[in-house]
Amino acid sequence: MMRIAICDDDISFTSKVEELLLKELNAVETKAEIDIFFDGDSLVKAMSFGERYSLILMDIEMKKVDGIMAAKAIRQIDKSVLIIYISGYDSYLKELFEVEPFRYISKPLAIDKFKKYFMEAIHEISKNENYIKYTFNGEESRVALKDIVYFESNNRIITIHLNDGSERKFYGKLNKLEKEELKDNNSFIRIHQSYLINYYYVKKVTFSEVVLVKKGQELCLGISEDRKSKVRNSICKIAASKTNES
């Protein structure tokens, strides 16, 4: 189910946005969980403990942590979440490019523009909400690719490491997973015979390892000698393509 966060220190305004969201979700027959935060600090803390959202609607001027600082922290945790700013401070527009917002709506809120941008967000989210199916002990399950930090292979058992800290296991080969199941998804990078990582959780890359963020904690995985150059090139290529898309 899609999850949406509203972040604004104006309580009455958050209620208005929530009401509009529910109305638009009902119109397109889509269900979603909506969480409300009254400052950027509480939103960042929730996400650092594993909460994930497909869409965040956020103000800029807020107490404790403003919308731009919050977005910078959020981008360290989740590069893929769509952010729509709803703010009355157009003077910040230049600073917004750094955090790659999906859209910007000025206050007072224009309902038609809100509806238009929300539908565009729904389309973008549905386009990227891909899943992988797997079978373990006779039970078929699926997991969203965007929630996977990395795959780990050991003795024909593949472990899926999820951002909420949980793990899923199934029998298989990483080579087959990479070349067949994920052949059309360019966000996963093979860094080692045993590791297939999700670009969206990469914090930094050194000469010999990749640093991932899992449930707010850093995790280091080694890059095999024969893949070092290819891994760096792949990450740079994906980063460039994501920048061009935005």
- pLDDT tens digit sequence for 176-221: 999 988 887 888 999 999 999 999 899 889 989 999 988 778 899 9
**pLDDT above 90 (res 136):** no
Which pLDDT band, with edges at 50, 70 and 90, does 91 fall under?
low
Residues 6+ apart with CB under 8 A from 8: 14, 17, 38, 57, 58, 59, 62, 86
**pLDDT above 80 (res 34):** yes
| pLDDT top residue among 79 and 7 | 7
**Amino acid 26: pLDDT:** 94
Domains and CATH numbers, the chain: 2-128 (3.40.50.2300), 131-245 (2.40.50.1020)
**Amino acid 12: pLDDT:** 95
**Amino acid 57: pLDDT:** 98
**Amino acid 172: pLDDT:** 93
Average pLDDT over residues 114-143: 86
Give the HSE-up count for residue 70: Cα atoms under 13 Å, Cβ half-sphere: 32
**pLDDT above 90 (res 65):** no
Question: CA–CA separation, 66 vs 53, rounded Å?
Answer: 19
**Amino acid 92: pLDDT:** 65
Average pLDDT over residues 213-240: 88
For CA atoms 18, 98, 147, 128, the dihedral sign is: positive
- Our CA angle for 28, 34, 38, nearest 5°, is 135
**Amino acid 94: pLDDT:** 67
| pLDDT top residue among 215 and 47 | 47
| Cβ-defined contacts of 196-202 (< 8 Å, 24+) | 196/150, 196/151, 196/153, 197/149, 197/150, 197/151, 197/221, 198/145, 198/146, 198/148, 198/149, 198/150, 199/79, 199/235, 199/238, 199/239, 200/78, 200/79, 200/80, 200/146, 201/149, 201/150, 201/163, 202/235
**Amino acid 141: pLDDT:** 86
**Amino acid 152: pLDDT:** 97
Q: Residue 134 pairs with which residues in a beta bridge?
A: 141
**Amino acid 184: pLDDT:** 77
CA dihedral 47, 143, 246, 57 (to 10 degrees): -40
**Amino acid 103: pLDDT:** 93
Q: What is the average pLDDT score of the chain? A: 89
Structure tokens at 35: 């969480």
Question: CA–CA separation, 214 vs 179, rounded Å?
Answer: 25
Distance of CA 69 to the CA centre of its chain: 17
**pLDDT above 80 (res 93):** no
E strand map for 75-130: 82-87, 103-106
pTM over 0.75: no
Question: By the 8 A CB rule, do 55 and 125 touch?
Answer: yes
| pLDDT top residue among 52 and 216 | 52
**pLDDT above 60 (res 245):** no
Which strand (E) or helix (H) includes residue 209?
Answer: strand 209-214
What letter represents residue 106's amino acid? S
**pLDDT above 80 (res 43):** yes
**pLDDT above 60 (res 175):** yes
**Amino acid 1: pLDDT:** 73
Most confident of 9-23, 66-80, 127-141, 204-218: 9-23
